[in-house]
Structure 1
Amino acid sequence: MPRSARLLRREQFTEALATRAAARRRYFTLFARPNGLPLARIGIIASKRVAPRAVDRNRAKRLVRETFRKLRHRLGGMDLVVELRRCPAQGFNEAAGAEFARMLEELGARPSG
């Protein structure tokens, strides 16, 4: 994913996290705010407290990035922060990916502003 599609600085995360959660589901919380740019950007928070094994954190981030890559053209100018809420017992699979995809689709279907 190109640098232009990622949130890189602490201030960018802080500004997005200061907004109300756009969606909260079993495995993820999504924060969103308009960024004034023509493209969507994403940042991912996956803490050790939620997913102690690095393999689970990395798989969750990979799943989120891939789903975002497929749907980002529908989101417009948004900054998104995805926070991992819990780790499934079997690890991250298609069900968790589908949950995140639904969250993004709901967000993309909303009118901007």
Structure 2
Amino acid sequence: MFQLSFKKKLRLLSNIQFQNVYIQKKRIYTKRFVMFICLNHVHFPRLGISISKKNVSYAHDRNRIKRLIKESFRLVQNNLLLMDFIVIVKKNIHLLSNKSIFYFLQKLWIYKN
């Protein structure tokens, strides 16, 4: 049975981990998100999230979007390759409903595979 949790080990935490993904320069562009990807040497996929105050000004909106990104990753983590992912949010995504943001995220994960 698959475990669908989002533990600390599944997150990119340090600046060095983020820089390693950015250096690879492999990215996927969509209308709402940019995803940076690179292979990792651990036995599970990891997620990093970057939402700038310039793109989403209110903290409650940034937190809501982070929760949606984490939840979508949690649900598909067993189908992903052993890679590090950084999801960057573009402008005005906070104007969308939770359902539509989650839909765009699901499409992003499917497009990735």
Whether the TM-score (by the shorter chain) exceeds 0.5 is: yes
1:58 equivalent to 2:63? Answer yes
| Cα displacement (A) at 1:90 | 2.8
Q: Which amino acid aligns with 1:34?
A: L
Kindly state the Cα deviation for residue 31 of structure 1 after the two structures are TM-superposed.
0.5
1:36-82 residue CA offsets vs partner (Å, 9 max, x unmatched) = 22210000001100000111111110100000000011112100001
Unaligned runs of 5+ in 1: 109-113
SS at match of 1:49: coil
Written as runs of structure 1 = structure 2, the 5 A alignment for 1:1-113 is 1-88=6-93, 90-108=95-113
Query: How many correspondences in the alignment?
Result: 108
Aligned residue identity for 2:91 = R
Q: Which runs of 4+ in 1 moved over 3 A?
A: none
2:13 maps to a residue whose letter is L
Over the matched positions of the two proteins, sequence identity in percent amounts to 27
Q: Which amino acid aligns with 1:43?
A: G
TM-score, with normalisation over the residues of structure 2? 0.87
**Aligned equivalents of 1:89 and 1:38: distance in 2?**
33
SS at match of 2:24: coil
RMSD: 1.4
Look up the match of 2:3: none
